[in-house]
Structure 1
């Protein structure tokens, strides 16, 4: 679905007043789902939770935490502390990584969509690139157990390299270790800057609600 700019602006004015709702133009085919519906007041509304007892349309959007134009309310968007919990806790213990950080990365990367595939080829819950997956010994990136094991192993490596600095870990996860080295910190890429900020918010929220 494509939406013109004037319509987006009109929706934005009302959508921002509704807690936990979001407004993002559709752009990617294999992405988390967003549902568009009308509230009881007839206001166009958006949610990442399937609306009940109301007609809605499915809108597909890009990476939750990578879209510079995302209007998700990151302080109120629903968390997911249930999906893949056993795998997350198992790998958190195995690699000594905070499970809240694992959930934050999965939420940011794929919104817990196991078969997510980005336009550049990243796959699965933690959006592993083929070369990275191979290096980590991941057999099938679209299989939750394999993907989480590889993704957490990668996070553990980054946490050790950056001495627990979550901002640098998130930046390297998004833009690559080379970019972090080149700029001596978080790269000045729009996507990476918003990604780092949103992972920080999600990490904090998952720690409080884990």
Structure 2
């Protein structure tokens, strides 16, 4: 299993230790979105220190919104030690890129000294999430009817932003709803990722039939489950189907025919037993604290 200790969310290690930092405008925007989530507790536990790290990564990539947001954190001592001089530098960096709010915020900071946060000083390149799976997403997309392609495009775009392999995200959505944005189960699970109301509320999904909100909520839950089960795919997807309480109670994939068939179907689509995870999201499940989790079917 690959553990992301020492890496930020969205900065997963990849096979054999190779990795790439998200690049370009999309990579920086991805980091900013994750930083905002951690700063405000949107779908993840609020973590100002991690938000600051992510903002700084995006600032290194040249994102003015990240420069401005990190400047405010330094100006107010949010997740970092207060440092007006560093805040000034960050605001000035954002102003050069045309950020109007940074221009207004600049008057609250001190005179320019050239001070920069440690995270912007020269250092070895950090690692970013890169899918280990070489599966051809575009070929799969081309095989689908037109009405499903938009949903699949949303899934494959959002999955890496939650440090989820696109193929695993597609396996879940295909099995749950066959990419139907209006799907509703007899148990009141809704939308593409079939979120029950409790899960939707847990991950701040206000409209489960909005495909973007629904997919983000499902991916946030899957990311949490992968962290909870330390990257064991079978246990994480069993938890997605039956709930982590049932997986913990049975110390493996529960002996429910529906859940066992569900796990087998997911693993047929995504034939890997482990997945990168961020151990800082949540403490490990008791069942993986005492033994190394592997695929277990209890008949």
Moved over 4 A (4+): 78-81
TM-superposition CA deviations, 1:121-155 (whole Å, max 9, x none): 00000000001101100011111111001000101
CA contact (8 A) 1:123 1:142 kept: yes
CA contact (8 A) 1:83 1:112 kept: no
Q: Does 1:173 align with 2:223?
A: no
Query: Aligned pairs, how many?
Result: 128
The Cα shift of 1:194 comes to 0.6
Change (3 A) 1:79 1:204: farther
- Partner Cα distance (1:100, 1:139) in 2: 26
CA contact (8 A) 1:117 1:127 kept: yes
Aligned to 2:225: 158
From 112, 117, 129, the counterpart of 2:179 = 112
Q: Does 1:145 align with 2:212?
A: yes
Change (3 A) 1:194 1:79: farther
The Cα shift of 1:88 comes to 1.5
TM-superposition CA deviations, 1:83-142 (whole Å, max 9, x none): 423322332122101110110000000011110000010000000000110110001111
Query: For 1:13-28, what aligned pairs fall within 5 Å after superposition?
Result: none
Aligned to 1:191: 258
* RMSD (Å) for aligned C-alpha atoms: 2.0
- Partner Cα distance (2:269, 2:150) in 1: 16
Could you say which structure has the higher strand fraction?
A: 1
Aligned to 1:82: 149
- Partner Cα distance (2:242, 2:269) in 1: 18
CA contact (8 A) 2:156 2:170 kept: no
- TM-score, reference length from structure 2: 0.41
TM-superposition CA deviations, 1:4-57 (whole Å, max 9, x none): xxxxxxxxxxxxxxxxxxxxxxxxxxxxxxxxxxxxxxxxxxxxxxxxxxxxxx
TM-superposition CA deviations, 1:147-206 (whole Å, max 9, x none): 00100010100111111111001110011000000010000011111110011112249x
- TM-score, reference length from structure 1: 0.57
